[in-house]
Amino acid sequence: MARSLVVKVTCGSEDAERCNQAFTVAAAAVASGADVSLWLTGQAAWFGVPGRAEDFALDLATPLADLLAVVVDGGRVTVCTQCAARRGIVEGDLREGVAIAGAALFAEEILGEGVQALVY
């Protein structure tokens, strides 16, 4: 049985390489059969909104929108409650398959048996 992976990405375009790495690892883990939960926090919260991942560009990297689609299709994607509120993002603003949740759910996920958590 594959381990579960929780990836928390805390940055957006202002730190493009770190941001893209988080999405790449999450998508690769989904492709390998792991149970994956991707948390969008800080500026990464914007990627839960349609069109934002499509606007992200990093030379020689898989498009962020493609990586996000893999995780949405095969895992879970969550935007941090406080991060969404600070940016005026509400559930109705989110792309299909993305939810808003808070620290209690994040803590529950990372404290699970056999879970690996990574923060980017």
CA angle 3, 71, 7 (to 5 degrees): 55
Q: Report the predicted TM-score, pTM, of the whole model to 2 decimal places.
A: 0.96
User: Token pair for residue 73?
Assistant: 């299709």
Would you state the pLDDT for residue 64? 98
Q: 45-55: per-residue pLDDT in tens? A: 999 999 999 99
Domains of the chain, first to last: 4-119 (3.40.1260.10)
Would you state the pLDDT for residue 96? 97
Low-confidence ranges of the chain (pLDDT < 70): 1-2
Would you state the pLDDT for residue 3? 82
